[in-house]
Amino acid sequence: MRNNVIWNAIDWYDTGIGIVNTRGAVVVHNTVVSDADHTNRFFSSLDYRFPLTRVEIQNNLVRRITRRGDARAVCWPISKTRQSDFSLMPLRRTSILP
């Protein structure tokens, strides 16, 4: 799943992107946002679950990622959004070269 924007405006919205019993999934460059009026305290922008799930999660703008049921993921740095704020967090510059 790549390059999507998911916006919530419904009551009791609990998951933006759900990854269930999937091997080899790649979830990159997505944005999941919801306003405070429609987000309950259990909200997860991205949720991966169940033992068969193997996923790579990279460069997504989200509020929270939830792992459940022994799912496995390779997660790279993630920017967290505030309510209705699509701006990126400051980039940390690092080099692998001397």
Structure confidence by residue, pLDDT tens digits, 47-56: 999 999 999 9
pLDDT for residue 65: 87
Which whole-number Å values give the CA distances from 10 to 40, 44, 57, 96, in the listed order?
A: 10, 14, 25, 44
pLDDT band at residue 18 using 50, 70 and 90 as cut-offs = very high
For the chain, the domain total comes to: 1
pLDDT band at residue 80 using 50, 70 and 90 as cut-offs = low
Residue 93 within a domain: no
Asked if residues 39 and 11 have their Cβ atoms less than 8 Å apart, the reply is no
φ/ψ (deg, to 5) at 3 = 60, 50
Residue 11 within a domain: yes
Residue 30 within a domain: yes
Residue 98 within a domain: no
Residue range of the domain that includes 25: 5-80
